[in-house]
Amino acid sequence: MSKIEISSSNVYADLGDSQADEMLVKARLAFKIGEIIKQRHLTQVEAADLLGLTQPKLSGLLRGQFRGVSETKMLECLNRLGRDVQIVIRKRSRSQVDGHTSVVFA
């Protein structure tokens, strides 16, 4: 019989990645970038030019290979795609020992 584990809702944490929160943030940002590119019917070449990336770098980012792309660059990409980005800093919840970073799309 196989063992079933309950997910933490962060696959990177479940896999033991030491940068799990950062990777989840990047994954959500990359997903949104890809979603907007698709909605605007841009080719990867057109999108890469607009975003200031090479087409291979954009292709990798859209396939989840974003370790070499900073969160700042990804936020800049969203700006170039016509999205406003707002960063909100608040006190952590009482149940958390450390603060937490998350991405919320409006």
Domains in the chain with CATH codes = 18-80 (1.10.260.40)
For the stretch 66-102, pLDDT in tens is: 878 999 999 999 999 999 999 888 887 777 677 777 7
Tell me if 57 sits within 8 A of 69, measured CB to CB: yes
Q: What is the pLDDT of residue 77?
A: 97
Q: What is the pLDDT of residue 97?
A: 74
pTM recorded for the entire structure? 0.82
For the stretch 13-51, pLDDT in tens is: 788 878 888 888 999 999 999 999 999 999 999 999 999
Alpha carbons 46 and 55: distance in angstroms, whole number: 9
